[in-house]
A = this chain, B = another copy of it.
Amino acid sequence: MNCSRRWSWSAGVILLGLATSLAAQDSPAPSAKRDSAPRIEYAIAIHGGAGWEPEKLSKEDRQRHREALTRAIHVGRDILDKGGSALDAVEQTIRVLEDEPLYNAGRGAVFNNVGQHELDAAIMNGRSRQAGGVAGLTTVKNPISLARLVMTETRHVLLIGAGAEKFADEMVKRPQIERVPNEYFSTEVRRREWQDAVAREKLRPAQATPGKGTVGCVARDKQGDLAAGTSTGGLTNKKWGRVGAVPVVGSGTYADNRTCAVSGTGTGEIFLLHCAAFQLHSLMLLRDQSLDQATRQIIDETLPEDSGGVIAVDARGRISMRCNTPGMARAALDSRGQLEIHFER
Contact = CB atoms under 8 A, between A and B. Distances in A.
Contact of A278 (B155, B159, B275): B275
Given A282-B282, A286-B287, A287-B286, A242 B159 contact: yes
Contacts of A249: 251, 272-273, 275
Contacts of A264: none
A135 interface: yes
Given A129-B273, A278-B250, A240 B159 contact: yes
Contacts of A278: 250, 275, 278-279
A290 B134 CA distance: 36
B248 A161 contact: no
Contact of A160 (B154, B243, B273, B283): B243
Interface stretch (A7-15, A83-91, A163-171, A189-197): A163-171
Interface in A199-219: 206, 208
Nearest to A150: B240
Contact of A240 (B163, B241, B248, B279): B163
A164 B241 contact: yes
A269 B160 contact: no
A33 interface: no
A71 interface: no
Contacts of A239: 163, 166-167
A313 interface: no
A269 B208 CA distance: 30
A152 B241 CA distance: 17
Nearest to A155: B269
A156 B287 contact: no
Interface string A153-185: 011111111111011000000000000000000
A130 interface: yes
A70 B17 CA distance: 70
Interface string A213-243: 0000000000000000000000000011111
B286 A160 contact: no
Interface string A308-339: 00000000000000000000000000000000
B279 A157 contact: no
Contacts of A279: 278, 282
B241 A273 contact: no
A141 to B, nearest CB: 18
Interface in A125-152: 129-131, 135-136
Contacts of A161: 136, 160-162, 241
Contacts of A159: 240-243
B286 A158 contact: no
Interface in A256-310: 268-269, 272-273, 275, 278-279, 282-283, 286-287
